[in-house]
Chains A and B, each alone.
Chain A
Amino acid sequence: MIQFKALLLKEYRETFRDKRALMVALGFAFFAPIMIMGMAKIMIEKLVDEPPVYVKFTGAEFAPKLMLHLADNNLLNFVDVPEDEKTTWEKRNIAIEIPADYAKNMAEGKPIKLHLQADFTDKAVKPPVRRINSAIREFSLSIGYKRLLLRGVDVRLLNPVKLVEQDTAEPNATFILISMMLGIYLMLAAFMSGLSVAIDSSAGERERNVLEMLLCQPVSTLKIVLAKLIGASTIAFIGVVLVLVLTSLSVGFVDLTKIGATFSLDMSTAIFLMLLLLPICFLASACQLFVAFQTKSFKEAQSTVGMLIGIPAFIPFVVSMMDDRPEWLDWLPISGQSLIIESVFKGVDVNWLAVFATSGVTIAITAALVLALAKKLKSEKVVMALS
């Protein structure tokens, strides 16, 4: 026990003293919430906010009611563009031409064509054009409805079939992109935060010639591996906690209710997520140590272990994209946890069997890796690679 305590104490000391490496390691956790919030904000703006659009109308005077309707939808005349937005809208250059015989054709019930010109390959033009389109369609429909109504037609005839969508998600489901992103970020945090620590304490120590010394000491390799594992996964876990805490703090800055969503992490959910991801932190660090010890150099370790990070990002993504999820996904590490995280955010009852199963499998794999690594450190191959 004295030995193990000393080993662990040394790992912690080395890790926490290297402030810069620590910041780099946890930098991901710091940036995750910012990224999530940023993306959510952009999404909300795209989906809900209707910023003013300035259109170059010709013949606006022929259709005052239409202009009013468009103005109600924040689609405004370019002549009124404020100075600071002038160049933007000059560049987007959306033009609508209203024909001079608009009023006459309207009164006579003849179809009227408005021409909208814009560079449709310009991405920035698309949302305004979409909004103009729907505003004009709405305007046109409302006139059409009234025309029929005033001719004694039941206007309900115009909608023979209506599809009513009923979302079977839980009423308090908060599962939107943000939760999915958070799920992936939590996985990534587990894998990324401990990464540099794992490499440093394995391949790094070998490179600095301290590993051989340690292996010559009267201490079992299992203890050495465990100490390094705990050291690295502590950082991984701190990363996970940071992502959770910072996300729930920063989520207040975005009004998610605008898109009918909410995100809140209550204490019990947060604790549940932490416990759920704890085995993942260990698994991540075990994988990284395992691979890093096999490599020939620090550099090789960095690049090889770097590839390991792809897995946690990849698996939840694939899982969330899959329509038919085979049951065994519930049991596997990473995929199992990401499915559970998904149901936590969906507000669905958590499948406790799956929780225990996936945690069990994760811990078992971690243990296997640790034992294998401990054995490996006694092997000639590793010893021969020492110098």
Chain B
Amino acid sequence: MKTMWKIIWKKVFTLGLLSISVMSWANDHKLTLENCHLGEIRSQVKCGKLEVPENYQKPNGDKIAVNFAVLPAIDDSEYKAPLMFLAGGPGQAAVELATVLNRVFSEVRKTRDIILVDQRGTGKSSALSCEFEAVDSVYSTLSDALDPQEVKDCVSQFKGDVTQYNSENAIRDFDAIRAALGHEKLNIYGGSYGTRAGLVFMRMFPDSLETVILDSVGPIEVPIGLFGQSGARSFNLLLENCKKSAPCHKAFPNLAQEFQAVKARLTKEPVSIDILHPRLGTPTKLVIDNIKFTGNLRFQLYGMEGRSMVPLVIHQAFLGNYQPLTGLMARTEGEQLVYTGLLFNIICNEDIPRLSVADKAADANNNFDGKDSHLAWELVCPFFPEYRPSEDFYQSVTADIPTLILSGNLDPVTPPSNGEFSAKTLPNSHHIIVENASHTVAMSTCASDIVNEFLTSKDPKALDESCLKDIPQESFMTSVNGIQ
């Protein structure tokens, strides 16, 4: 009884506080917040915009409106610090991921607001977008067919000062939204590039953070952009796992050789065949070279479902059947996954300049896709306006905030070794490596429950990790008709 009244009073009190602070911010910072529908979420959520300076050094200069959404806690009878989701990419728009995140963080949302912010340059926050990919030619064009003029044209159509669309300003926006919504503290979940953003957040505004979850880490110490070694590692694990699995090994006894054979064949001469457009059903051309082949396979390595099809796709390609590969390409055809303008703007300025020739050579020395993953940077980066982050930006982050670090062992871009960097420098952290998972483990495994537990306990070292043991070994499709 006593606690109930306490809760009620607390609630009345916090409600009062909240509405007051919202009001004051609404006046000063042009915060808007209204009910809306997002994605496929059935219930109404809240959509907002906050006007922030484009350049924080010039608070009275140009403004940009940062778009965000709040998935309100289902049970708000007791206030708990919300969870802010920091999207990956860079260039993913968090608000666009609302449907998935609402599902993944359903446990968290039971008692906490979930805040999704379109990082400046993505989504509805002054997006920097380039239509590099001709919509209907994903099957017939090759990756190196990108025309420099296209890049130039795209960059020139960006409005505003693109150099302000950097990670540090994005974090300033995030913290401004925290304050505008009246939260003293936030929990943040960063996935992929979102971990980089999260680390910057920890350095810039440690007092705003209650806990941090870094899932599939892109630490400051490891420049983003070199995926040759990590991709090869992930691919080789797949080959090993296939060999260890009796049905897979039986179906594809020479998988590694077959892969190299297809690659060699395509390097020599791209394949060009007539197919029916997977979506339109009309005749079209499929042109595949080795870069497109490995690039598409690399993309499958990010998730367990894609990985399960890789051996079959390789084997069929080896047999001259590119239908399975076409089907994989069709899965994301025509969908904008990231806002490429922001992606290149950040990577080209914050990470690529730190790479030495030796770094690149070492990364290219792999048996999966060589230096193919560097190609995009080399083609695009020269055309992006330059900025350089502060020296602080590259310092290891050492904030004493409870931090849960997650890595998927099979991850093709942010291998567990990345997580180790952050685990070492963050004093109150714990690194969980999930054996049978790939990129962003909380999105696809029970690690989301561990995240929920961590948000409550705030003790990264004493979490119940047992459910991760139940994640099965990766298994593979062995026939185009499915198995048993």
Contacts and interface: CB of A to CB of B under 8 A. Distances in A.
A156 B332 CA distance: 10
B324 to A, nearest CB: 4
Contacts of B110: 257
A155 B327 contact: yes
A260 B75 CA distance: 9
A9 to B, nearest CB: 30
Interface string B1-35: 10010001101100100000000000000000001
B9 A152 contact: no
Interface in A102-158: 102-103, 106-109, 143, 146-157
A366 B43 CA distance: 41
Interface residues of B, number: 48
Contact of B42 (A106, A167, A248): A167
Contacts of A222: none
Contact of A149 (B46, B276, B328): B328
B75 A152 contact: no
Interface string B471-484: 01000010111111
Contacts of B482: 106, 143, 146-147
Contact of A167 (B4, B43, B279, B477): B43
A171 B46 contact: yes
B323 A169 contact: no
Contacts of A152: 275-276, 278, 322-324, 326-327, 330
Nearest to A265: B8
A63 B484 contact: yes
Contacts of A1: none
Contact of A264 (B76, B324, B330): B76
Contact of B480 (A65, A66, A103, A150): A150
A78 B386 CA distance: 66
Contacts of A172: 72, 76
Contacts of A327: none
A174 to B, nearest CB: 9
Nearest to B44: A171
B77 interface: yes
Interface string B429-463: 00000000000000000000000000000000000
Contacts of A260: 43, 74
Interface string B298-336: 000000000001001100100000111011101101000
A215 B45 CA distance: 63
A356 to B, nearest CB: 24
A256 interface: yes
B74 A248 contact: no
A91 to B, nearest CB: 31
A149 B330 contact: yes
A165 B40 CA distance: 7
B45 A171 contact: yes
B37 interface: yes
| Interface residues of chain B: helix, strand, loop or mixed (majority) | loop
A267 interface: yes
Interface in A168-182: 168-173
A385 interface: no
B208 interface: no
Interface residues of A, number: 46
Contacts of A146: 309, 477, 482
A164 interface: yes
Contacts of A267: 8-9, 12
Given A154-B330, A257-B75, A164 B111 contact: no
B40 A164 contact: yes
A262 B76 contact: yes
Nearest to A166: B37
A7 B273 CA distance: 101
A169 B328 CA distance: 39
A62 interface: yes
Given A153-B327, A169-B43, A266-B8, A108 B76 contact: no
Interface in A54-70: 62-66, 68
Contacts of B479: 107
A257 B40 contact: no
B483 A257 contact: no
Given A106-B484, A155-B330, A166 B42 contact: yes
Nearest to A157: B279
Given A171-B44, A262-B75, A103 B484 contact: yes
Nearest to A144: B482
Contacts of B483: 65, 106-107
B250 to A, nearest CB: 13
Q: Which of A66, A102, A165 has the most CB of B within 10 A?
A: A165
A17 B330 CA distance: 80
Given A149-B327, A170-B44, A156 B279 contact: yes
Interface string A317-346: 000000000000000000000000000000
Interface of B: 1, 4, 8-9, 11-12, 15, 35, 37, 39-40, 42-46, 72, 74-77, 110-111, 275-276, 278-279, 309, 312-313, 316, 322-324, 326-328, 330-331, 333, 472, 477, 479-484
Given A147-B481, A154-B333, 17 more contacts: A66-B484, A146-B309, A148-B327, A149-B309, A149-B327, A151-B324, A151-B480, A154-B330, A166-B44, A167-B43, A169-B43, A170-B35, A171-B46, A171-B72, A262-B77, A266-B8, A266-B12
13 contacts: A106-B483, A107-B479, A150-B477, A152-B275, A152-B330, A153-B330, A154-B331, A155-B330, A260-B74, A262-B74, A264-B11, A264-B76, A266-B12
Interface of A: 62-66, 68, 102-103, 106-109, 143, 146-157, 164-173, 248-249, 256-257, 260-262, 264, 266-268
